[in-house]
Amino acid sequence: SAWAAAVAAVERQALDAKVLLICHVNPDGDALGSMLGFGLGLLRRGHTNVQAVFPGPLFIAEPFQGLPGLDLLVAEGDACPEPDLVVCFDAASQARLGGLVDRLERAGVSIVLDHHASNPGFGDIPLVDPAAAATSVVAAQLLDRLGVELDAAIAECLYVALVTDTGSFRFALTTPAVHELAARLVATGLRPEEISQRVLDSRPFGAIKLFGDVLSRAELEPAAAGGVGLVWTFATLEDLIRHKQEPYVMEALIEAVRGAAEADVACVFKQVAEREWSVSMRSKGARDVSRVAVSLGGGGHRLAAGYSCAGTLADVVEALRAELTLASS
Ligand code: 5GP
Ligand code: MN
Ligand code: MN
């Protein structure tokens, strides 16, 4: 099985073999948490040459600055060019790895841990479980199979990943097994209230003001077909400058917008450059937004997906409306 192949691929590495852990661009709690938790697990197994990396500048958003294992991180340019083993976390496609794809290709062997239904199954050993609530669930399973005991530091990383990807155990796929894993993690002594506060409920006052501006311009639209509504808003670079905020604060906006009861689909357009947008989508169930995202060049899950696009705001909103109309017919 793929599990046996993954275990064998790790076990046949010498303890000083070059191991490179990679995750998707703009890493979220699941990408960073599963990668660093697994990395700490490898250290615990005795591996001495473990690096972790993600594409783009080495910037850790404030909510993740307390994560254990951050010292495994290296800048993209310092990542081992020809690793013996690459393990990839939470990347729905190779496109999400930016310039790190070449490490995957040049690796002695690569294992891909993920939970996106849209993942095509890349890498030598894909361990993709669309039924897993987070990539950290897959990572915990592999650590178990490797006989690595989950200590408090590993547990904190995996817990952050679990909490962020399940919306604090609210979303679909929050199964009994997820709660059982959470119970094991909490039993190591971690403090859920401290972690939630640090990761989910702590942001600069300027971000609150920015949320006010962005939410006040939200629009509610009946869908052209299908009878379900769309709620959407947008955040611009100008908003960030006006409130002196970093782009990562925009990631939490979708959580507020998706609360509109009248809409089945919620969407936030986050400006990345003059005519470039990163788009977050959520569904309450009637629509499979991962299909919509895939059609627009992105990916994700049935109820949470995203993509990148170019054009004026009017253009990109219209392109989404058209795709939603198509998907409903
Ligand atoms: P979020 O809206 O929280 O950024 O992302 C929701 C889900 O959609 C995540 O599972 C994420 O992996 C996926 N996603 C977000 N943006 C993109 C993108 O640009 N490309 C792909 N393939 N998936 C994305
Ligand atoms: Mn992710
Ligand atoms: Mn994930």
97/192 Cα distance (integer angstroms) = 30
How high is the mean pLDDT of the chain? 96
- Assess whether 138 and 261 both reside in one domain: no
Length, in residues, of the chain: 329
Mean pLDDT of 206-232: 88
pLDDT band for position 222 (cuts 50, 70, 90): confident
pLDDT score at 316? 98
| Pairing status of strand 50-53 against strand 229-235 | unpaired
Average pLDDT for residues 266-271, to the nearest whole number?
A: 98
Write down the H helix ranges in the chain: 2-11, 29-45, 101-106, 135-145, 152-165, 176-186, 192-199, 205-216, 237-242, 253-257, 289-295, 313-328
Q: What is the pLDDT of residue 224?
A: 57
CATH code of the domain covering residue 125: 3.90.1640.10
Distance 90 CA to ligand 1 centre (A): 10
**Does 254 contact ligand 1 (Cβ within 6 A)?**
yes
Residue having the nearest C-alpha atom to atom 24 of ligand 1:
306
Collapse the DSSP code of 168 into the 3-class scheme (helix H, G, I; strand E, B; otherwise coil) and give the result. coil
Number of H helices, E strands in the chain: 12, 11
Q: Are residues 72 and 152 in the same domain?
A: yes
> Which of 199, 222, 241 is at the close of a domain?
199
Q: Which of 166-180, 198-212, 219-233, 286-300 has the lowest mean pLDDT?
A: 219-233
Q: Tell me if 139 sits within 8 A of 158, measured CB to CB.
A: yes
Q: Judge if 187 and 212 occupy the same domain.
A: no
Is residue 17 located within the same domain as residue 161? Answer: yes
Residue 11, judged by CB atoms within 10 A of its CB (0-12, 13-18, 19+), counts as: exposed
Ligand 1 contacts CB of residue 290 (under 6 A): no
Q: What local confidence, expressed as pLDDT, does residue 325 receive?
A: 85
Asked whether 306 lines ligand 1 (CB < 6 A), one says: yes
Q: For the residues 129-141, what does the mean pLDDT come to?
A: 98
Whether the per-residue pLDDT at 328 is higher than 80: the answer is: no
Query: 30, exposed or middle or buried, with CB in 10 Å at 0-12, 13-18, 19+?
Result: buried
| Ligand 1 center to 164 CA (angstroms) | 13
Least confident of 16-30, 132-146, 223-237, 289-303: 223-237
Residues 221 and 303 in one domain: yes
CA-nearest of 61, 59, 90, 63 to 73 is 59
Q: What is the pLDDT of residues 88-128, one digit of tens each?
A: 999 999 999 999 999 999 999 999 999 999 999 999 999 99
In this structure, the answer to whether residues 178 and 150 fall within a common structural domain is yes
What's the domain range around 260? 205-328
Distance spanning both ends of the chain, measured CA to CA: 39
Q: Confirm or reject: Cβ of 72 under 6 Å from ligand 1.
A: no
What is the band of 327 on the pLDDT scale with cuts at 50, 70, 90? confident
**Which of 143, 171, 199 marks a domain boundary?**
199
Residue nearest to atom 18 of ligand 1 (CA): 307
Question: Which residue's alpha carbon is nearest to atom 15 within ligand 1?
Answer: 306
Q: Are 274 and 256 in contact (CB under 8 A)?
A: no
CATH number at residue 266: 3.10.310.30
> For residue 171, what pLDDT is reported?
93
Residue with tokens 């769309």: 230
Model confidence over 180-197: pLDDT tens digits? 999 999 999 999 999 999
Confidence of residue 227 (pLDDT cuts 50, 70, 90): low
Whether residue 280 has its Cβ less than 6 Å from ligand 1: yes
Residue 329's pLDDT band (cuts 50, 70, 90): low
Q: CA 262 to CA 85: how far, in whole Å?
A: 48
Last residue of a domain, one of 142, 171, 199: 199
Contact 268, 235 (CB under 8 A): yes
Domains contained in the chain, number: 2
